[in-house]
Amino acid sequence: MPITQLNVQAIRNLSELSLTPSSSINIIYGANGSGKSSLLEAIHLLGLCRSFRTNKLNHLIQSGGERCTVFAQLDAMGSGISQPLGVERDLAGESRIRFAGKNIDLTTLAELLPIQVINSETFMILEGSPGVRRQFLDWGAFHSNPEFIRLWRGFRRVLKQRNSLLKYGKIDQRLRAVWDSEFIKYAEQLNTLREVYIEALKPEFDLILADLLEGVSIELGFSPGWDKKRGLDQVLEENFERDLRQGYTGAGPQRADLRLKVDGHIASERLSRGQKKVVVSALKLAQGVLFYKLNSRSCIYLIDDLPSELDRQHSRLFCNYLEKTASQCFITCVDKESLTGLWSESTETCFFNIQEGALSTQ
């Protein structure tokens, strides 16, 4: 399901850029500030209608402009027929997403063009808050089970309602029983999908990590957000007075987390910077492999500054793995040489040089 043609308009310093990418490896190289990350950001906007660098999408729109647009031809569901996808965003905050001549919503877009990003922010899977790890986990659960989004939305709605009752303070016991039973129903189903996903991800992750990082083994554990030895009904009951004092629900899937350990120690405290990059990349690659197994199509990888933090040997191993996943990859680097000579001859590799927001034709 690769992008066969890409057009970017008015995204940061990319005024007007057209690219015919390879269906496998695309390397975008250029000096600092030339527009490499902006090009990846444009593809991210196309797939998710948001940026990986900012929550304020207006920063993406080129200074002085009113809107930005990304337009692509893609073989969306692996049908072999290219169809147009366009995402437009204006300064007023309005977004328009069109696929094959029809407006589509965000969920449909996310299903159409599954995107994986590996950049300096990806370290946050190890170093950041549980919310980052839940987002990672839920990307996979969303793409592995069509029920996930309904359960996730249902759970968010019930959690919001329960929390507003807790904030209000005076809770009618019958009303509380109704919301608690809804909470438990959604929480358990959501948790099951997350557990199933993580169990399927683990072996993929172990295999990839063994190839990429010899001698380091990582234990990947999942914590559901409450003490599973006690039922969630008992937990809610026992925590009720505390929840009431705090004005929010303290236990449940909204607190789920992943635990990554090396020899019993928290991985982020143990690993070197380069090892961390390999581990988070292995997690993202494992998601891609599993996505392929479950959906018979590949996701698109956006990898910002692949060589940073990695020595030549680890860059080579990483590149070999990207080739194996048979995904379309957009990879940036400053020096062309840093990603030259790392690919097998049979892989279709395209190099694009960006200079001051435009593709160089030399």
Ligand X SMILES: Nc1ncnc2c1ncn2[C@@H]1O[C@H](COP(=O)(O)OP(=O)(O)OP(=O)(O)O)[C@@H](O)[C@H]1O
User: Which residues define the annotated binding site for ATP?
Assistant: 30-37
Residue 347 burial (C-beta neighbours within 10 Å; 0-12, 13-18, 19+): middle
Q: Which two tokens stand for residue 320?
A: 């070999």
Check: CB of residue 262 under 8 Å from CB of residue 217: yes
Q: Does 83 bind ligand X (CB under 6 A)?
A: no
CA 327 to chain centre: 15
Separation between Cα atoms, residue 360 and residue 362, nearest integer Å: 6
Q: Does 26 bind ligand X (CB under 6 A)?
A: no
> If binding means CB under 6 A, how many residues of this protein chain bind ligand X?
14
Nearer to ligand X among residue 249 and residue 332 (C-beta): 332
Nearer to Mg ion among residue 9 and residue 37 (C-beta): 37
Q: Does 59 bind ligand X (CB under 6 A)?
A: yes
Q: Which does 59 bind (CB under 5 to 8 A by kind): ligand X, Mg ion, none?
A: ligand X
Q: Which does 22 bind (CB under 5 to 8 A by kind): Mg ion, ligand X, none?
A: none
Q: Does 288 bind ligand X (CB under 6 A)?
A: no
| Choice from 38, 298, 315, 325 touching ligand X (CB under 6 A) | 38
| Choice from 2, 30, 47, 252 touching ligand X (CB under 6 A) | 30
| Choice from 9, 34, 51, 254 touching ligand X (CB under 6 A) | 34
Q: Which does 242 bind (CB under 5 to 8 A by kind): Mg ion, ligand X, none?
A: none
Q: Which two tokens stand for residue 94?
A: 């309005």
Binding site for Mg ion (CB under 5 A): 37
Q: Which two tokens stand for residue 131?
A: 């919310």
Residue 287 burial (C-beta neighbours within 10 Å; 0-12, 13-18, 19+): buried
> Which residue from 115, 122, 123, 234 is spatially nearest to 180, judged by alpha carbons?
234
Separation between Cα atoms, residue 295 and residue 292, nearest integer Å: 5
Nearer to ligand X among residue 79 and residue 360 (C-beta): 360
Separation between Cα atoms, residue 301 and residue 45, nearest integer Å: 13
Q: Which residues are annotated as a binding site?
A: 30-37
Q: Does 307 bind ligand X (CB under 6 A)?
A: no
User: Nearest distance from residue 326's CB to ligand X, in Å?
Assistant: 26
Q: Does 12 bind ligand X (CB under 6 A)?
A: yes
> Which residue from 294, 295, 281, 271 is spatially nearest to 331, judged by alpha carbons?
281
* Residues paired with residue 25 on neighbouring β-strands, in sequence order: 329, 349
Q: Which helix (H) or strand (E) holds 176?
A: helix 173-212
User: Nearest distance from residue 191's CB to ligand X, in Å?
Assistant: 39
Question: Candidates 18-26, 33-41, 195-203, 284-292 — which segment interacts with ligand X by CB under 6 A?
Answer: 33-41
Nearer to ligand X among residue 37 and residue 281 (C-beta): 37
Q: Does 37 bind ligand X (CB under 6 A)?
A: yes
Question: Candidates 34-42, 205-213, 223-231, 280-288 — which segment interacts with ligand X by CB under 6 A?
Answer: 34-42
Q: Does 33 bind ligand X (CB under 6 A)?
A: yes
Separation between Cα atoms, residue 324 and residue 338, nearest integer Å: 20
Check: CB of residue 116 under 8 Å from CB of residue 300: yes
Binding site residues, ligand X, CB under 6 A = 12-13, 30, 32-38, 59, 62-63, 334
